[in-house]
Amino acid sequence: MRSLTFVIGTGRSGSTALSGILNAHPDVLSLNEFMASVGDAAFPEGRVTGAQFWQTLVQPAPHFERMIRSGLPLPEFLYTRRPGRYTAETTGIPALSLMVLPHLSDEPDGLLDELGAAVARWPERTAAEHHRALFDLLCARFGRTAVVERSGYSTGWAPGLRAAFPHARFVHMFRDGPDCALSMSRHPGYRTISLLREIKARAGVDSFADLTEEHVRALPADLAPLLGERFDPALVRDRDIPLRTFGTLWSELVTEGTRFLARLPADRRSTLSYENLLDRPAEELTRLAEFIGVAPLPHWLHTASALLDHSRRGSARRLPVAELAELSESCAPGTRVLEAVR
């Protein structure tokens, strides 16, 4: 059985760079934003045919499609930088094509066709079994031996992934709270997340599936359009969202990730601090490689160090004193949780 590792975390923590670093290792299949792309829809209950499973992987993600159509694509959307045959305006962009396949190939459309032809013929089995077969297929295709999935904003998926893949390993990646929260505040995806969280809070629902037309009519004029097929991107870009909102979000996510990790057997869990990665890249990546189950190749370690951006460190310290104090206070619960396990 191939090793399977999930890197979970808040996002905005150097994790995108980590996907690039892992992709540079000749033995690692780096599944960049796989869960963020396919989500829970790719894990239907019961047994499904290969053709049915494939549809869960290529069905365009509605929330990402709305952002693209509204002129607010995320920087993580690799497909929209070098468009192929699919567009959000016409065909919809297959979920796998948006961020996963362009990370693996310069010809994502061709790779999608190749995978689809194989998966559609697969017999009926559980979604977890189909995923394992897909990972094996991709490993064989690219000559890799270990699978690492990494998505931002992914701590919420961890329990389900643990249930689906009981032998998987998990790495909790995190970054200094104020720096990470400040980065979230400037990112269109996290700004959208904060606004969608506000919508659910105002409506008093835990899921958008529970949102009624009456709920939507009661929303303010600067929030309701975000639920439509297209919206003014200024509603996300220009809205004044307090920094503490993102500090609170960061605290919630690192607490969720830390508590999940604590429930795992010691040999199935590890952590990775972005700051430690910057300070000691060879040491931290050697430890990560050994945990994943691949060799810490000297050339890879040298190449990886060049992919790290040190300029992002300490960004929150450049804020006005009062803003930094408020942000640090909102990050304090998460900071205490991390300090307790270090």
Rounded distance between C-alpha atoms, residue 148 and residue 142, angstroms: 14
The per-residue pLDDT for range 242-260, each reduced to its tens digit, is: 999 999 999 999 999 999 9
DSSP string, 89-147: TTT---HHHHHTHHHH-S-HHHHHHHHHHHHTT--SEEHHHHHHHHHHHHHHHHT--EE
Nearest to 250 by CA among 6, 9, 7: 9
Asked whether the beta carbons of 305 and 223 are under 8 A apart, the reply is no
Reduced to 3 states (helix: H, G, I; strand: E, B; else coil), residue 31 is strand
Percent with pLDDT over 90 in the chain: 96
The per-residue pLDDT for range 104-129, each reduced to its tens digit, is: 999 999 999 999 999 999 999 999 99
Task: Please report the pLDDT score of residue 1 as a whole number.
Answer: 66
Question: What is the phi/psi pair of residue 295, to 5°?
Answer: -80, 140
The per-residue pLDDT for range 32-64, each reduced to its tens digit, is: 999 999 999 999 999 999 999 999 999 999 999
Task: Please report the pLDDT score of residue 91 as a whole number.
Answer: 96
Nearest to 170 by CA among 258, 284, 269: 269
Q: Long-range contacts of range 40-43, CB-CB < 8 Å, 24 or more positions apart? A: 40/157, 40/160, 42/95, 42/127, 42/131, 43/127, 43/128, 43/160, 43/164
